[in-house]
Amino acid sequence: MSLDFLLHPTSYLGGVSGNLSAYLCFSAILFVFGLIAALSRRSTIGIFMGIELILNAAALNFVVFQVMKKDLAAQNWLHGHMFSLFIIILAAIEAAVALAIILRAFGSKGTINSDRISELKG
Amino acid sequence: MSGLDLFVLAMFALGIAGAFFTAFHPNILYASISLIATLGAVAGLYAGLGADFLAATQLIIYVGGILIVILFAVMMSENIYKKRFAAEAKKYILPSIVSIGLLALLFKLLFSADWGELSEISQSQDGVTLQMGQALSRPYALPFQYVAIVLLFGLIGAVVIARPHIGKKRK
Amino acid sequence: MTLTNAINEFFQLITKFQVPFFLVSISSAAIIILFFAMPVSGFATYLERKISADFHERIGPNRVGPWGLLQLIVDGIKMFLKEDTVTKNADRVVYNLAPSLVTLGSLGAFAVIPFSAYIIGANLNIGIFWAMALGSVVSLGVLLGAWSSDNKWSLLGGMRGAAQIISYEIPLGLSVLSVVVVSGTLNMHELVATQAWPTLGGKGHFWNIFHNPFLFINFFVYFIAALAECNRTPFDLPEAESELVSGFNTEFSGMRFGLYALAEFADVILFACISSSIFLGGWQLPFVDLSLLHFGMSLGGKSLDPVFQTALMMGVFLAKASVIVFVVMWLRWTLPRLRVDQLMNMCWKYLIPISFVCVVGAAIWVWFFEAILGWPSSSMVHIVGRMLGVYSS
């Protein structure tokens, strides 16, 4: 890539708001960071936040496809938006239950480190 | 470059920075604060895509609800300044390598895939809120009720789990 | 207008004038704060002191300017010049972030307030929902500010504040929902426009509070829930000064405290504006439709009607809003503070069931009169008019 990119960044980045791949890249990055957080954090709250990132990436993808794909946009019922809405609602339920479990575990074990809450391990 | 492009780029930058710190910041409170930035950026992207209702829903449920609950849990559970990154650093190595490999795979997939016929974002003044309402009251009426029932039972379950003395007799 | 349109318009302005983005955002925020929110909120602090003085049979501020009117400028200067202290173990980043989150939440919602049929910041198609969504950011600022200042009283206040705000958002949302059920729109301008006096063949249904009995009840539910949302007495538990020193903003001083205080008054004014526009008809008056008035004056061939109409509408709107602000201040110096358990009982055991019943009741009311009987409007005014034979069609 030549130095043109630095001199005229606008000509390369123009039209990014209508570019399907740009959104997909963004949500892929979000997904991967969420995965890293969920796999490597030891705090259960950290794991939970990673899962929230993954859910957000997925929900964004649904809307992007709905808005940009011509055959989907021609349909009446906005299936992509509906999926995102349901993801957001279910995430709220998940948050309530997960944090109730976390607080309970903290109450009985005194820690929320997932390595030390391991009584169910066989 | 239109104004919307500028906005979307800013949201991309905010979202990726927030997601990075959510994954890697040693202090769990700062991680949750950068999660605010990411969720806000996703709300902004919804707004840019013409999904107004979803943008506001994202703000009201994630920022006003879920993040508050996360912050409650963070503040009530751990001594957050005690944790140091060095102790946990090696736990990041393997997941990071695997995830970056996955990212490369995803990028390869989405740049080589054929997405079919694409359309522009509609710039209509009406938005899709009315359409969403109609969808919720016609084909999605039953799933919506189902989600409502799941929400009810989820909340009851959360209360039952969180209360320590439920089922035992009080003195 | 959708959010996408609003973003486009805003950024087109920037690209047109070729100035750096951060300059524009900073200056536009400064303009909003300097020319609307600061003076109005500052005036509200003056009003609050005068009204409280009246209730205590004192005189109140009377030294600076006529009737002490310039007190708000002096207070502002004091805020700016005060030493900006930070507690030793405070978390600096969060400590600086929290007041701006609160300010963002309360000032951003002003964009959708319809001051007249012609003056509205952004005529969003999700108007009222947008105001509620930004309102939920406030609780985040309260909680973070309380935690970061490293003070037990602050933390207690912040926890109370967050719990109170997210609980009372439910009755608030339900009572707004009942209005939306009746009006069939989320757009603030249309919400006000549908509340016109029902002229012959017109579409209006008069003020939403008099639309049906359920909305009348829900107005009071909305009022109580909104009082709790802006942490006003009798729900000012987050800053209960007799228990928690000053609650979540104990450790804040100087301009940071100024932002919290400003946000509180901005919240009260915002809530007065919203409730007067969705329940009390906004700029609509009974017996006359202001947007149809003609004054017969023109300047250079252009009719001056919109100017006069705007002046009248803004007068009506601000009069309604200031009556509500006065009632809020009246309540502050009249009612004692609730206990925490009483607060939660009131929300979960009384307000939420009442507002649920009212939402369903309003929906059935509209369905019965408009779908079963096929009347063009289901408002009480319309029904009475039919009984008297005015609207027989």
Q: List b or e across C272-301, with b for residues whose CB sees 16 or more CB atoms inside 10 angstroms.
A: bbbbbbbbbbbbbeeeeebbeeeeeeeeee
As a whole number, the mean pLDDT across chain B is: 80
% of chain C with per-residue pLDDT over 70? 86
Q: What CA–CA distance (Å, rounded) separates B135 from B141?
A: 8
Cα–Cα distance, C325 to C273 (Å, whole number): 9
Interface residue A88 vs chain B (CB under 8 A): yes
CB proximity C14 to B under 8 Å: yes
Overall average pLDDT of the A35-63 stretch:
88
- On whether the CB atoms of residues C15 and B3 are closer than 8 A, the answer is yes
- In terms of C-beta density within 10 A (0-12 exposed, 13-18 middle, 19 or more buried), how is residue C18 classed? exposed
Q: Say yes or no to pLDDT of C18 above 50.
A: no
pLDDT at res. C265: 81
Look at residue C316 in the predicted model and tell me its pLDDT.
Answer: 86
DSSP letter assigned to residue B63? I
**Chain A within 8 Å of B56 (Cβ-Cβ)?**
no
Confidence of residue C13 (pLDDT cuts 50, 70, 90): low
Q: Which of residues 139-168 of C touch B (CB under 8 A)?
A: 139-140, 143-144, 147, 155, 159, 162, 166
Mean pLDDT value across chain C: 79
Asked if A112 contacts A43 with a C-beta cutoff of 8 angstroms, the reply is yes
Mean pLDDT for the stretch of residues C4-31: 54
What is the model's pLDDT at position C360?
92
- Residues of chain B with pLDDT > 90: what percent? 11
C230-287 tens-digit pLDDT? 887 788 777 767 777 777 777 777 777 878 877 888 888 888 888 988 888 888 887 7
Q: Please determine, for residue C1, whether its predicted confidence score (pLDDT) is greater than 60.
A: yes
B58 touches chain A (CB under 8 A): yes
Token duo for residue B103 = 């990212």
Contact C186, C127 (CB under 8 A): yes
What number is the average pLDDT over the span A102-111?
Answer: 78
Whole-number CA gyration radius for chain C: 22
Paired strand residues for C299: C302
- Closest chain B residue to A64, measured at CA: B49
- Residue C23 confidence (pLDDT) above 50: no
pLDDT in tens, C332-379: 888 888 888 888 888 888 999 999 999 999 999 988 888 888 777 788
Output the pLDDT for position C151.
79
Which residues 185-204 of chain C have a CB within 8 Å of chain B? 186
Task: Please say if the pLDDT value at position A2 is more than 70.
Answer: no
The more confident residue out of A62 and C189 is A62
- Any A CB within 8 A of B59 CB: no
B47 to C186: CB separation less than 8 angstroms, yes or no: no
- The reply to whether residue A104 touches residue B162, judged by beta carbons under 8 angstroms, is yes
Q: What is the mean pLDDT of residues B25-51?
A: 85
Arithmetic mean of pLDDT, A83-93: 90
User: B138: burial class by Cβ within 10 Å (0-12, 13-18, 19+)?
Assistant: exposed
Give the one of B42, B51, B76 whose C-beta lies nearest to A56's C-beta: B42
pLDDT tens figures, C219-233: 999 999 988 888 877
What local confidence, expressed as pLDDT, does residue B165 receive?
65
**Is the Cβ of C5 closer than 8 Å to some Cβ of chain B?**
yes
Q: Is A78 on the interface with B (CB under 8 A)?
A: yes
Q: State the smallest CA–CA distance between residue A122 and chain B in angstroms.
A: 22
Q: Name all chains with 3 or more CB-CB pairs below 8 Å to chain C.
A: B
Length of chain A: 122
Which one has a higher pLDDT value, C260 or C18?
A: C260
Examine the pLDDT at B149 and tell me if it is beyond 90.
yes
How confident is the model over C163-204, as pLDDT tens digits? Answer: 888 888 889 989 999 998 888 888 888 888 888 877 655 567
List the single best residue of B28, B45, B74, B129 to mutate versus C (max C Cβ within 10 A): B129
Q: Which residues are CB-neighbours of C2 under 8 A, at least 6 positions away?
A: B50, B52, B124, B125, B126, B127, C124, C125
Residue A51 reports pLDDT greater than 80 = yes
Nearest to A40 among B61, B69, B91 (CB): B91
Q: Which of B71, B112, B119 to mutate to test the interface with A (most CBs of A within 10 A)?
A: B119
Q: What's the pLDDT at B161?
A: 83
**Confidence (pLDDT) at C22:** 41
The pLDDT of residue A107? 76
Kindly state the tokens that stand for C106.
């309360």
Q: Is the ipTM of this complex over 0.90?
A: no
- Please indicate whether residue B70 or residue C112 has the higher confidence score (pLDDT): B70
Q: Which residue of C has its CA nearest to B50?
A: C4
Q: What is the pLDDT of residue A59?
A: 92
Asked whether residue A61 carries a pLDDT value surpassing 80, the answer given is yes
Nearest CA in chain B to A86: B147
Which residue in chain C has the smallest CA separation from B58? C133
Confidence label for C380 from pLDDT (cuts 50, 70 and 90): confident
pLDDT of residue C392: 57
Structure tokens at C21: 């983005």
B7 interface with C at CB cutoff 8 Å: yes
pLDDT, position C357: 93
Whether the pTM exceeds 0.95: the reply is no
Cα angle, residue A17 at apex, residues A35 and A92 outer, rounded to 5°: 40
| pLDDT tens-digit series, residues B52-80 | 888 888 888 888 888 888 888 887 766 65
Structure confidence by residue, pLDDT tens digits, B8-20:
888 888 999 999 9
Interchain pair A97, B161: CB under 8 A = yes
